[in-house]
């Protein structure tokens, strides 16, 4: 945004951009949660964790006969990203977003230079959290860090 633009206009633009990015990221987390919840209700007992790494049942993950075969890396990856772990990751990211929103709200009471620095820090963190979704149709180019 241009230097000659009044601070109130810059602030309104920034707030709109930030609100949109927060909403985008929360929507993606909601989508991920729905997929993970549905996977929890799959052929395993609901809520039964799938063991990670070497303890994983690779035949159950990648199909019969693949426990030592070429699909072992894919099975390892799937086992490490089982639904319960994904749900914990989503909850962690939601908590980060909540903390950042509080941080931004508190920054409103700071002098302008400090407020802008705090906003830039928060925006940078949210940008990074949204980066894995940069291939989503609703991801905006202006959000790239």
pTM comes to: 0.74
pLDDT at 111: 76
- pLDDT value at 79 more than 80: no
- pLDDT value at 134 more than 80: yes
Buried b (16+ CB within 10 A) or exposed e, 104-131: beebeeeeeeebbebbeebbebbbebbe
Instruction: Write the CA distances from 78 to 33, 53, 58, 100, integer angstroms.
Output: 16, 9, 9, 30
């Amino acid at each position: 945004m241009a230097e000659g633009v009044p601070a109130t206009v810059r602030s309104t633009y920034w707030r709109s951009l930030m609100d949109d990015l927060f909403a985008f990221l929360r929507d993606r987390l909601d989508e991920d949660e729905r997929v993970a919840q549905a996977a929890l209700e799959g052929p395993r007992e609901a809520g039964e964790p799938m063991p990670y790494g070497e303890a994983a049942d690779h035949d159950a993950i990648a199909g019969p006969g693949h426990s030592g075969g070429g699909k072992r890396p894919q099975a390892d990856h799937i086992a490490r990203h089982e639904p319960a772990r994904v749900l914990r990751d989503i909850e962690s990211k939601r908590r980060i977003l909540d903390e950042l929103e509080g941080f931004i709200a508190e920054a409103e009471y700071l002098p302008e230079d400090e407020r802008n620095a705090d906003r830039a820090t928060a925006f940078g963190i949210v940008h990074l959290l949204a980066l894995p979704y940069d291939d989503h149709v609703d991801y905006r180019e202006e959000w790239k860090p």
